[in-house]
Amino acid sequence: MIELRDIGADDWKLWRDLRVAALTEAPYAFGSQLADWVDAPEERWRERLSAPGAYQVIASLDGTPVGMVGGFPGEETGTAELVSMWIAPTGRGRGVGDTLITTIAQWASGTGARVLKLSVADGNDPAHKLYLRNGFADTDELGDLMPDGVRRELVMRKQL
């Protein structure tokens, strides 16, 4: 059974452990790099989890954390962003990703957002397929440059 837990600044160690695991296991999937976060002080982790209007969730299976996702108010009126999603290999194929996406979509809708946006690394086909399956569509919007200096993120959106 998938268990969800809303987290805040006091849960920074749990978030840190998952984020470091994500950046270690799937460095190709994120605009951030492990070196940017692995030795970050407690204050930086707490700030990340205290962003105004943000919503952070951890998913567990049988009491073991296996996934994470964040939601942030979007830059454009009526939008929200899904960020920092990662599922541990042991949680993949078990509905964790779908559950986390649904949770952020519900949160975003509750904030009044009409559109949920996200960015996915070009070439991260499993994540791209997960987002497509959950109602997201590719856009022509130019995403951020990835740390490799070559690839750009693909921007996707979903009507809420």
79-87/115-121 β-pairing: parallel
Tell me the average pLDDT of the chain: 94
Structure tokens at 12: 């920074």
| pLDDT for the residue numbered 147 | 74
User: Which residues, including other chains, have CB under 8 Å from residue 103's CB and lie 6 or more apart?
Assistant: 4, 57, 69
Tokens 């809420």 sit at which residue? 160
HEC profile of 91-104: HCCCCHHHHHHHHH
pLDDT for 73 beyond 80? yes
Domain chopping of the chain, boundaries: 2-159
Phi and psi, residue 30, nearest 5°? -130, 150
Share of the chain above pLDDT 90, in %: 82
pTM score over 0.85: yes
| pLDDT for the residue numbered 112 | 97
E-assigned strands of the chain? 2-7, 55-61, 64-73, 79-87, 115-121, 137-145, 152-159
Output the CA angle 150-159-120, nearest 5 degrees: 20
Residue 66: is it exposed, middle or buried by C-beta count within 10 angstroms (0-12/13-18/19+)?
Answer: buried
| pLDDT for the residue numbered 97 | 98
CATH superfamily of 2-159: Gcn5-related N-acetyltransferase (GNAT) (3.40.630.30)
pLDDT for 7 beyond 80? yes
**pLDDT tens digits for range 110-155:** 999 999 999 999 889 999 999 999 999 999 998 877 777 777 889 9
| pLDDT for the residue numbered 143 | 87
